[in-house]
Amino acid sequence: MKERVVLGLSGGVDSAVAAYLLKEQGYEVIGVFMRNWDSTLNNDILGNPTNDNDICPQEEDYNDAKKVAEHLGIELRRVDFIKEYWDHVFTYFLEEYAKGRTPNPDILCNKHIKFKAFLDYAKSIDADYIATGHYARVEHHNQGDSVMLRGVDNNKDQTYFLCQLNQSQLQASLFPVGELTKPEVRKIAEDLNLPVAHKKDSTGICFIGERDFREFLKNYIPAKSGKMVDIETNHVVGEHQGIMYYTIGQRKGLNIGGPGDAWFVVGKEYEENILYVCQGDQNKWLMSEGALITDVNWIPSIKPEGEIKCTAKFRYRQKDNDVSIHFVDETTIYVQFINQIKAVTPGQAAVFYDGDICLGGGTIEKVYKDEKEIAYL
C-alpha cells in the first residue's frame, strides 16, 4: 500500500512542484484547495482592489490548482475553513491591531489552519502525512523527535512562519521543496510544462491577499488620528492616522518634514493615542538589550535547563542575532541580546535557531534596555 499524502494545493508553483515530487517519491497524492476567506461574508470592501473583478483571485487560484491536478493526474478536493480562519486567526489579528500591536497572521494561519484544521481533515480521510509548498525541511526519526530545519534556499526559508508547529504536527508533515532553491523549483515547473510555471508568487495577508492595508483595517477597526510626538523633545511634529497603522522602526509614510535625519517610529502611548518618533536610524530609543517572549512553542520535546546560547530572528528576513535565553516558566523565555538590536517590536514573533535547526518561537511581549522595560505601549 502506498502511503497517502494530502497536499495543500494552492494554485501556486511551489505546491504544484511539491505534488510532482511526492508522486515521483511513490506516494498516493490527494490535492486539497483550502478556502479560508469570503470577502462578501467578511465585509472585505474597503481596500479590496478585486471587488470589481469578474472572478475573484481565490477562484483564479482554484482554477489554477485544478489545471495542475489534471496535468499531474491527481485528485483535487476543495475544503472550506472560513469559520476556523475567522475564529482562530483573523479575530486575534484584529484584537492585536486594536491594541496598537503588530501581529503576524501567517504564523497563526500555519498553527491553526494549515497544520490543525487541514491536518484534522487529512486524518479523517486516512492520510499518513500532510504536505505543503513551504521552504523548510523536516527530519523524521523512528525514535525521538522530528526536527525542523531551514530550507536550503536561504532567501526563501519559511521556518520563521512555522515556529508554532508542535511535535505531533511536525511528525505528520512533509516539505517536498525544502531541499530546492526557488530557481530550481521554477525550472522543474518549466520542464514539466506546468500551467503555473511562470505564475508570480502570492503576496499580502495569508489567504486574504493584497490589500490597501489602511483601508482594509477600516472595515473592522475605526481609525482615530492623533499627535505624532518627538520622544526626545516632547514636541508635536506631525499627525498620525491611527496608531494601529504604524510599527516600531517604521520610516516610510510618516510625512514629517524639516531638517536633520530621517524620522522613525519608536513607541506608542495607546491610552493617549500618541505616536512617538525619533530622528536617526541608530537612535538610542530604537535600540534594546533584551526581551520577554510569551506563548513560546518549543519544538524539541525537552526544554533546556538554565541558560543556553542560540540565535534569534525578531522579524522575517532579519539576519540571525546571537542571544542567550532561559525559560522563565513553561511558555515564557527571557532573551538577552549579545549586541543591541534595533526595533524589536511587541506583538511580532521571536524565533530561535541552533544552526539550521528551528527550535521554536513565541510572541514578543516586552522589550528591555538597561534592565528596564521600554514602554512601547
Active site positions, annotated: 109, 206
User: How far, in Å, CA of 283 to CA of 298, rounded?
Assistant: 33
Q: How big is the chain, counted in residues? A: 377
Answer whether 133's CB lies under 8 Å from 18's CB: yes
DSSP 310: E
* Lookup: cell for 4: 497517502
User: How far, in Å, CA of 148 to CA of 65, rounded?
Assistant: 27
Pairing of strands 357-369, 287-298: antiparallel
**DSSP string covering 224-292:** --EEEEETTT--EEEEES-GGG--TT--TT----SSSSPEEEEEEETTTTEEEEEESTT-GGGEEEEEE
Residues pairing with 278 in the sheet: 264
Please count the other Cβ atoms lying within 10 Å of the Cβ belonging to residue 300: 16
Place of cell 530550481: 184
Place of cell 511551489: 14
Beta-carbon contacts of 8 under 8 Å, excluding residues fewer than 6 positions away, are 15, 32, 33, 34, 114, 118, 130, 131, 132, 133
User: How far, in Å, CA of 118 to CA of 124, rounded?
Assistant: 10
